[in-house]
């Protein structure tokens, strides 16, 4: 019940931002979208992108899109949500951050140990890291 109320409030707030001052929408949506991406709350990302599709191109201070941030923070649900957006997939995949890294480079970095789920063995962690590469280069 509380979850549904929170989503209804989010819907209302997003609609009000878009109705009241569309020119400030980037500034208003940027931080909540980045935070939802980094901690893995796909409902917030989906709601914002549904009402304001341009938000997919918003960047953080390192010029990383939310797609790239989902990769860095290993947030699969957010990643999959953004990856399904066909109209923006090519644009987002081709972007480089301030260090020149594209999505594949970011997937190749070893994840922060605090971000990787705590599992018993290293083989599982290696398998999990390899899955990020398979999204970009499907092995046959």
State the pLDDT at residue 44: 92
What is the SS3 assignment for 65-76?
EHHHHHHHCCCH
C-alpha triplet 63, 46, 79: angle, nearest 5°: 55
**What tens digit of pLDDT does each residue of 55-83 get?**
888 899 999 988 889 888 888 888 888 87
State the pLDDT at residue 139: 47
Read out DSSP for 39-63?
HT-HHHHHHHHHH-GGGGG-B-TT-
Mean residue pLDDT across the chain:
80
Higher local confidence (pLDDT), 133 or 47: 47
Nearest Cα neighbor of 39 from 16, 73, 5 is: 73
Per-residue confidence band for 25, with pLDDT thresholds at 50, 70 and 90: confident
d(CA 109, CA 72): 8
**What tens digit of pLDDT does each residue of 28-54 get?**
899 999 999 999 999 999 999 988 888
């Amino acid at each position: 019940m509380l979850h549904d109320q929170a989503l209804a409030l989010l819907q209302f707030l997003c609609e009000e931002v878009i109705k009241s001052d569309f020119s400030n929408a980037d500034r208003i949506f940027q931080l909540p979208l980045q935070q939802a991406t980094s901690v893995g709350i796909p409902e917030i990302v989906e709601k914002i992108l549904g009402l304001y599709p341009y938000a997919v191109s918003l960047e953080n201070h390192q010029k990383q899109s939310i797609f790239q941030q989902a990769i860095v923070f290993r947030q699969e649900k957010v990643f999959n949500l953004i990856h399904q957006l066909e109209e923006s997939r090519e644009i987002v995949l081709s972007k480089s951050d301030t260090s020149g890294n594209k999505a594949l480079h970011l997937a190749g970095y070893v994840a922060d140990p605090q971000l990787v789920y705590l599992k018993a063995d290293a083989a599982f962690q290696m398998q999990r890291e390899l899955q990020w590469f398979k999204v970009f280069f499907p092995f046959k």
